[in-house]
Amino acid sequence: PGDPGLLTARALELIAAADVILYDRLIGAMALDGARPEAELLFVGKEGGGESVPQEETQALMIARAQEGNAVVRLKGGDPFVFGRGGEEALALRAAGISYEIVPGVTAGVAAAAYAGIPVTHRGLAGAVALVTGHPRADTPPDGEGEEAALDWPALAAFPGTLVLYMGVRRLSGIAASLIAAGRSASEPAAVVERGTLPDQRVVTGTLQTIAETAGREAIQAPSIIVVGAVAALAGQLSWLGEKVLGGRTVAVTRARAQASALSRRLEALGARVVQAPVIRVRALPGPPLDPAPYDLVCLSSPNGVAALFERLAAGGRDARALAGARVAAIGPGTARALAEHGIVADVVPERFVAEGLVEALADVPVSRALVARASQARDVLPDALRKRGAEVDVLALYETTVEPLSAPALAAARQADYITFTSSSTVRFFLQAVQGSPPEFSRATRIVSIGPVTSQTLRENGLEPHVEAERHDVGGLVDALIADATARG
Ligand code: SAH
């Protein structure tokens, strides 16, 4: 329903294996983090209040991709069979003779309530719960047989338990009035949970009589669920999502989708709303198997490089043991962590996480033949410095980074964000390519956060002045600098 931590283990498995993923508007970008880089990600939802991709088109696309032999994931918010049109899509698959699996999910009505401290059933207070659409038309089949089914207000009013209404926030006053008119008590507790389970979740509570006015005053919007019943009053006692240091702030993350998750997760845990604006795509470059035996030093500058290096080793039937004879140097703790995942503890990790830092850190390390494994477009600081010391240096380009086009809504959201983060010079360059033209117009309030001096320099060369520069040039340092700035500005 929002928090990617609520994806089921099965959902994560299938996302990681998918060739094609068709996803909806309410899917958080982080839910797609585990997708393979080559996977085709197709957005089939509504772009900002506009028309959604018609249901028949979505189904046709899903079927076509499956018939081409792809493993297709149709990713929906919450549970696919709860107001998710999952049943219709399964019928279409059955008719086309395509086999499928249904993965149940955590539905918003239950999850958003829980994140607001509302148990939808509670001994003594509610022995039943009804999941109700507050927008019956949205539930009508696409070929729209018959008229819009009206809600049976007397039956809902008489329902002996909690009512959880989906898709109803725009009609909240009508819904409350209809329930009262049909006999539900005006003093019955009610709550609305907006963007439930997400870092910027908001909750308003009251009674059936007051809830519409309160929600209106707070400008509560979709997606929200409405909870009517005695349990709604428990929100006051059981609410557990505290005030967070980045609560209410929006932060745009420009790094590649595959790398963004650690940063995004950290920001979200601090209460920020993260706008995913990945402008970089990382692609491993094809190449022959690698035999590192001749080298006494192997230098790696990014987790991408580590991943690609181990692929090249594996291509020749080798594993971490092939590096036993070499010293291994890593720029930055992320690179060192990626190495550690392969069983290699880096011998050298410089204090400053830039190539110059590694040059300094290697000053006393004897080197006769070095391998510098890195991206195809990288600075030559390290190889030049090693050569100057008389070492023989092979530079191996293991991967390349290319621009990933930004969707219009992602760009608009990034421009409106309170903060935009740049974690490398290439995020700056690719961002400017993705917005086609420089300098991009940010909202005047948007503060630009740079991971360090090299990135700041690239920003300035492109007419952008960083407002915040991290003191420690890694993701943790960037987050610390952002928190300090947000706190200072109150
Ligand atoms: N299949 C989804 C529901 C889709 S219908 C599920 O099982 O959760 C869309 C409605 O779901 C929205 O109008 C809203 O009422 C509800 N919804 C989805 N995400 C929500 C969220 N994060 N917080 C509150 N309500 C949400």
The model's pLDDT over 321-360, given as tens digits with 9 standing for 90+, comes to 999 999 999 988 889 999 999 999 999 888 877 788 888 8
How far does the centroid of ligand 1 lie from the alpha carbon of residue 155, in Å? 23
Task: List residues near ligand 1 (CB under 6 A).
Answer: 1-2, 26, 76-79, 82-84, 107-108, 112, 166-167, 193, 195-198, 222-225
Q: What is the pLDDT of residues 209-254, one digit of tens each?
A: 999 999 999 999 999 999 999 999 999 899 888 778 898 899 999 9
24 has catalytic annotation: yes
What does residue 202 show for φ and ψ, rounded to 5 degrees?
-130, 145
pLDDT at residue 358 in the model: 83
Cα–Cα nearest to 339, from 363, 370, 365, 304 = 304
Distance 69 CA to ligand 1 centre (A): 32
Percent of the chain scoring above 90 in pLDDT: 62
Q: Is the pLDDT of residue 457 over 90?
A: yes
Task: Indicate the pTM of the whole model.
Answer: 0.64
- Name residue, tokens 């329902």: 159
Q: Mean pLDDT, to the nearest integer, of 67-86?
A: 95
pLDDT value, residue 149: 53
Atom of ligand 1 nearest to the CA of 76: 1
Q: Which atom of ligand 1 is nearest to the CA of 2?
A: 22
Ligand 1 mutation target, pool 79, 167, 172, 221, most atoms within 8 A of CB: 167
Quote the pLDDT of residue 135: 82
Q: Is the pLDDT of residue 428 over 60?
A: yes
- Ligand 1 center from residue 108 Cα (angstroms): 5
C-alpha distance from residue 81 to each of 89, 178, 196, 274 (Å)? 10, 27, 19, 28
Given a cut of 60, whether residue 142 has pLDDT beyond it is: no
Residue 24 Cα to ligand 1 midpoint, Å, equals 12
- Core vs surface per residue 449-479: b (16+ CB within 10 A) or e: bbbbebbbebbeeeebebebbbebbbbebbb
Sign of CA dihedral 53, 57, 59, 60: negative
pLDDT single digits (tens) 13-52:
999 999 999 998 777 767 888 899 899 999 887 654 556 6
Which residue of the set 3, 19, 33, 46 is catalytic?
46
* Residue 202 CB-half CA count within 13 A: 16
Find tokens 């329930």 and name the residue. 179
Per residue in 12-22, pLDDT tens?
A: 999 999 999 99
Torsion sign, CA atoms 307, 309, 315, 320: negative
Q: How do 273-276 and 468-469 pair as beta strands?
A: unpaired
Query: Active-site residue among 3, 24, 33, 79?
Result: 24
- Catalytic: 46? yes
How large is the average pLDDT for residues 397-418? Answer: 86
